[in-house]
Structure 1
Amino acid sequence: MEVNATEYESLENELDLFSIRVDQIPIWERIRSSVFREIAREKGRGQAHTHSGDGAKDYLHGFSLWLKNIADKNPYFAGEHDFIFFGHQRRKLEEDGYWWDLYCDPIHEQGELDYVHMEAPHLLSHRSPAKTKNLKYLELIQYGGTLQRKLGLRSPSLPDDVVSRLQEAEVEIRRRFDVDIDVVSEAQNALHIRNTTLPLYERLLDRVDPKVVVLVVSYGKEALIEACKRKEVPVVELQHGVIHDHHFGYSYPEGETKTTFPDYLLTFGEFWNENARFPIPDDRVIPAGYPYLEQRLDAYDDVEPAEQLLFISQGTIGRELSQFALEVHEDDRINHEVVYKLHPGEYDRWEDEYPWLAASDIRVIDEPEPPLYQLFAESSAQIGVGSTAVYEGLCFDLNTFVFEADGAEMLRPLVENGAASMVESVDELAGGLGSSTASQFDREWFFESDSVANILEELERIRDSHYE
């Protein structure tokens, strides 16, 4: 069942949740995105990136990583640098045998910035060998905070009036969405994370003394951003995925703000600037491009596409989409070969969860090879629901379709823009294959060219303008 984002915004407004403060800290801005994700998870969406494991073993493993970080890649041994990059912990293995941070490494490779790169662990590990030079790990902060919280240190207390208002939100969430969310615990946890990690981030900033902090994915990093604002260090975020008007990490109601939002946001292109209500001035939302995509377009420029229809899956809608793929595959009117590209979060479970797909002769991609961009280059059409990859596939001139399912609102702007068609049935898809929709896609509007040069220019300008 689709979660009504407009109803969620209505709840925020009617209960005036943005006004709730604990010791002058606006608490709702720190939990609104995670509360919405929890509602979606309870309603059956949002499973793609979840990690479940033995809690005790995970804590022991985390503690061992914390101990190791004292000697290995200790962030407090970084020395002084103009820039600190807080990269994306989910890396990708490239043809050169190195694990890349797709958002930062192309900038590091082509630029000459004085930087140190910080990385949080992903699923209790780091990929190696990493492409990134001057790399430090964040276990001392992340697990140092966890250790304090487990010991009950720096535990926050919520005033009775705040608890009452958050409980009112719980009641309304139950009434409107028919799920039980412990909003009080969400707030306590957010404040506890702040209390235990903010001093550690401040100490790190004192040690490195950066002129600019660059990060990927700002929501969930509120303590880091607060530390930067206390130290008067400008924060720049690099766009990493789809931004839309109901993405609660970026889009805020008119008149509302987020005190822990980056000072600047470098987007993929002008399209994204108009796709949400950002809580910063328009002139600080700057179209710059997507370096990794630009590199991949050049790498596969000479590949000839075939009559191939690429399905872009996600764990949240995989059951519906894979069933539709089977219908398409078995329909005589469609001459395209169907290729089903799984999300990495589906690799280990798709045969159990999509038995109809496992029993078919559809080509299913359940490993990193061949790379997604190679599949784009080899295909003539694509279909997906709410993935950033669909936008990227359009850059390969693919005839593009959006499957009507939960989450399709993320790609609706493509349909409104004329770059894609919405389909609910095989009949609609059969009628649309071979049309010229892709020619209406203005690549430059979505993804600025010369992206690395643009980003480097903006980062240097921000550095220099703040320290003239």
Structure 2
Amino acid sequence: MPFLAAKVPELTLDDILVLEDTRELMAFEARDTGVPMWPLVRIRFLRQILGDLLFSGDLAGQRVTLGQPGKAFAAMGRYVLHNTFSPSPQGRITLMSTALGGGARDGRWFNRLTDHFAMAYPDISCVVEDDLHWHYPGPRHFERIRYNAPSMAWSVMLGKTLVRKADYSAATALVDLVNSRARDSIGWEMAVRERHMLIGKLAEVSAALPATLAMYGRLFGRLGTRLLLKGGGCYGGASVAPIVAARRMGIVTAEHQHGLISKGMDAYNIGSELAGSEAYKSCLPDYLLTFGPWWNDKFRLPVVPVAIGSPHRSAVMTKRSGIGLDASARRDVLVLSDGVDADIFIDLAAQIAEALTTRRMRVVFRPHPVERDSRDWRGQLPTGVVLDENIDLYDSFDSALAVVSEVTTGAFEALGLVPHILVRDTAKTRFNYPDGSFALFRTIDDLLRLLDAATEQTATSLTKAIWADNWQDNYARFLQAQGVGI
């Protein structure tokens, strides 16, 4: 067990971030770039700790594999053909994001993370999209797109080719430094296998970084980029190269909020020493475009928050006004997985279903988007639990009497739409919700009492602070302030 003590302490994120409160970290740079190495590997290292502390599943993630080689090569071939033979779009506004927010809508592919923004100014916007599960999406609602998978694959192969002893030496020294500081500060030490994998990955990414920076520089030059909206831009890792390349070209950079931001989120909070580091700041976007002003004090990063709103939620609320059932007619208890510990939430759903056998209610399990294609869920759900097959979470809210989970943006999305939002009181939720944002339960009896309690109405002012109105106007003002030219 990586925690050296027999009993794992209930730590806060600030306790963990002590390990990066040293100027020594910024002394390690990827060769020939001046880019600090720590942002390239920070999230992966911290999530090894958080995984051991809070999760039963693999929070840090495994190495990317082809999975189904035939499907992978077919998708990669289509990406290459599209990028090669499709007309090269101009994109003063360039949106880079994962395909995780994608799904079919009216017979065409739509990515809720990027396409609302892109379709607001279609003639000057371009989407650069990462791969997800080797699925080539098309036809699409928004067609001014470049696929990033070929460039990322090229960068990986380049790293394996160019890596040198000096890269391994620097990566080893950095990983061993933070590993030692974690051992001294919180009593945690990385397992030998994970340490070896992390050093190898960091060395290869660092070796490829000069070429990767040049590659993104050429891309932004061809697109005519003046504003880069980078999904997950504050996460470091694969976001470092496009952010650094754009900033060095004088391009304004921003991240558009895609999910939960809290004082327990590693990506949005850094140690005090890093907060004053210009080198670290150069790897972060200039702005963080949040769902609403409520989120603007929930992070600790040297970036400027701008409350824009949630384009997807706004579109759904406009389209679905008045569709949801009255509270008296709702019968679903919707259990949301968190993307890591699905089996824990399946077990929770089974316990709830057993407790509700005498009531005319239905327990519905919804996998996290990153989990949806990872299993045959129908064959794994226990008796009394049904699979939520809706693509859009908001469709599932219509019949839900309660949303049940631990750490998820879905709880915030349910505000004003679902009568009961119930969060299980665990070390994980206390870590991520130190302010106590929702009604908490520890036992199934607690949950049943909360279900039977009168519905507490969320103040309209709070909902509007969490979800700002008029995102189009807010977005337009932001673009005008950055001189994008709309």
Give the TM-score taking structure 2 as reference length: 0.82
Distance verdict in 2 for CA 1:39–1:253, change over 3 Å: closer
Q: CA deviation at 1:267?
A: 0.4
CA distance in 1, matches of 2:89, 2:421: 48
- The aligned counterpart of 2:365 is 340
Where do 1:50-449 residues align within 5 Å?
Answer: 58=69, 68-74=78-84, 78-150=88-160, 152-153=161-162, 155=164, 157-158=166-167, 163-173=172-182, 176-180=187-191, 181-182=194-195, 183-218=198-233, 219=235, 220-257=238-275, 258=280, 259-280=282-303, 284-302=304-322, 303-305=324-326, 306-331=330-355, 336-344=361-369, 345-346=371-372, 348-349=374-375, 357-358=381-382, 360-365=383-388, 367-368=389-390, 371-405=392-426, 407-409=428-430, 412=433, 416-417=436-437, 420-433=438-451, 434-440=453-459, 442-449=462-469
C-alpha change, 1:451 and 1:398, in structure 2 (3 Å) is farther
Cα deviations by residue, 1:97-139 (Å, 9 ceiling, x for unpaired): 1221102212233335512221122223321222222112223
SS in 1 for 2:481: helix
Q: Is 1:8 paired with 2:16?
A: yes
Paired residue type of 1:289? G
Q: Please give the alpha-carbon distance, in whole angstroms, between the structure 2 residues aligned to 1:315 and 1:184.
A: 26
Unaligned runs of 5+ in 1: none
What CA distance in whole angstroms lies between the structure 1 residues aligned with 2:170 and 2:320? 59
Deviation at 1:264, TM superposition (A): 1.2
Q: Which moved more, 1:262-271 or 1:338-347?
A: 338-347
Inter-CA distance 450–161: structure 2 relative to 1 (3 Å threshold) = closer
Which deviates further from its counterpart, 302-311 or 329-338? Answer: 329-338
| Alignment check: 8 A CA contact 1:250 1:277 kept | yes
Q: Which amino acid aligns with 1:170?
A: N
The SS at the match of 2:268 is coil
Q: Distance in 2 between matches of 1:3 and 1:190?
A: 33
Look up the SS of the partner of 1:463 in the other structure: coil
Given candidates 448, 472, 484, the residue that maps to 1:452 is: 472
Q: Secondary structure at the match of 1:338?
A: strand
Shift in CA distance, 92/349, structure 1 to aligned 2, threshold 3 Å: same
* 1:27 paired residue among 37, 41, 49: 37
Deviation of 1:48 after TM superposition, in Å, equals 7.8
Distance 1:13 1:75, change over 3 A: farther
Partner residue in 1 for 2:481 = 461
Render the CA deviation track for 1:3-23: whole Å, top value 9, x for unaligned: 843442122226853454455
Tell me the CA shift for residue 288 of structure 1. Answer: 0.7
Which piece of structure 1 moves more, 199-208 or 22-31?
22-31
Aligned in 2, Cα 1:48/1:416: closer, same or farther, shift over 3 Å? Answer: closer
Residue aligned with 1:148, SS: helix
The amino acid across from 1:119 in the alignment is E
The alpha-carbon deviation at position 75 of structure 1 amounts to 9.5
DSSP 3-state at the match of 2:404: strand
CA RMSD, Structure 1 to Structure 2 (Å): 3.4
Partner letter of residue 205 of structure 2? Answer: A
Question: Does the 8 Å CA contact 2:17/2:270 hold for their aligned counterparts?
Answer: no
Structure 1 residues 108 and 160: alpha-carbon distance in aligned structure 2, compared to 1, 3 A threshold: closer
Stretch deviating more after TM superposition (107-116 or 371-380) = 107-116
Q: Cα distance, 1:32 vs. partner? A: 1.0
Counterpart contact for 2:108–2:138, Cα < 8 Å: yes
Q: Residues 188-208 of structure 1, C-alpha deviation per residue, up to 9 Å, x if partnerless?
A: 133134233111111112222
Instruction: Describe the SS at the equivalent of 1:449.
Output: coil
Alpha-carbon contact 1:397-1:438 (below 8 Å) kept: no
SS of 1:386's equivalent in the other structure is: coil
For residue 385 of structure 1, report the CA deviation from its aligned partner.
0.8
> Which 5+ residue runs of structure 2 have no aligned equivalent?
1-7
Aligned length: 453
Bigger shift: residues 21-30 or 450-459: 21-30
Residue 223 of structure 1 deviates from its aligned partner by 0.5
Q: 1:392 Cα deviation (Å)? A: 0.5
Task: Give 3-state SS (helix, strand or coil) of 2:414's partner.
Answer: helix
Q: Secondary structure at the match of 1:90?
A: helix
Conserved 8 A contact 2:21-2:273: no
Compute the displacement of 1:341 (Å).
1.8
Q: Distance in 2 between matches of 1:69 and 1:310?
A: 37
Superposed counterparts of 1:40-51, under 5 Å: 40-41=50-51, 45-47=56-58
Distance 2:423 2:302 in 1: 29
CA distance in 2, matches of 1:41, 1:186: 19
Provide the C-alpha distance between the structure 2 equivalents of 1:398 and 1:75, rounded to a whole number of angstroms.
51
Structure 1 stretch displaced more, 315-324 or 303-312: 315-324
Q: 1:154 to 1:351 in 2, by over 3 A?
A: closer
Secondary structure in 2 aligned to 1:99?
Answer: strand
**Alpha-carbon contact 1:313-1:340 (below 8 Å) kept:** yes
The one-letter amino acid paired with 2:112 is: L
* Alpha-carbon distance in structure 1 between the residues aligned to 2:414 and 2:165: 46
The corresponding residue for 2:47 is 37
CA offset digits 1:234-289 (Å, max 9, x no partner):
11211111112232222122342432111111100111111111222xxx210110
Go from structure 1 to structure 2 and tell me whether the alpha carbon gap of 1:126 and 1:193 turns closer, same or farther (over 3 Å shift): farther
